[in-house]
Amino acid sequence: MFSYDYKGIRVRYADTDQMGYMYYGNYARLYEIGRVETLRAIGFSYRQMEESGIMMPVYDNYSRYLQPARYDDELTIRVIMEELPKVKVVFKYEIYNQDNTLLNTGITTLVFLNRDTNRPTRAPQYLVDLLKPYF
């Protein structure tokens, strides 16, 4: 299993609703930030993968809202991968505030697609190689 904490995301006024709670749609953005930065931390680049002709669209997204993130909270996004990617990859998320209170959990499944054929393909081998030591 691989886990990484991306810290220091501040909830800005523009992220909130009238109650000062972070708008629910922004959690998907946090998931994306978390997974991109998690993969970057092990030396993987989304840009490099896309330039090589492999895309990684979201297949499904699930969120559970436990407590609201509030204006000016400082968030940590914990990203967990329980299995090595194959044709798809599943990311689990836990979002905490500065008091280490669990606010949100989520799961996204992404698939690897060949950009030219728009057909599923296997995960890039260099990504699998970067992740293998953690499993």
Q: What is the pLDDT of residue 93?
A: 98
Residue 30: burial class (beta carbons within 10 Å; 0-12, 13-18, 19+): buried
* Dihedral sign from CA coordinates of 18, 19, 21, 25: negative
* Domain range list for the chain: 2-134
- Architecture of the domain whose range is 2-134: Roll (3.10)
Q: What is the pLDDT of residue 37?
A: 96
- Residue 47 Cα to chain centre, angstroms: 16
Q: What is the pLDDT of residues 30-65, one digit of tens each?
A: 999 999 999 999 999 989 999 999 999 999 999 999
Q: What is the pLDDT of residue 90?
A: 98
Question: Which stretches in the chain have pLDDT values below 70?
Answer: none
Q: What 8-state DSSP symbol labels residue 44?
A: -
Q: What is the pLDDT of residue 85?
A: 96
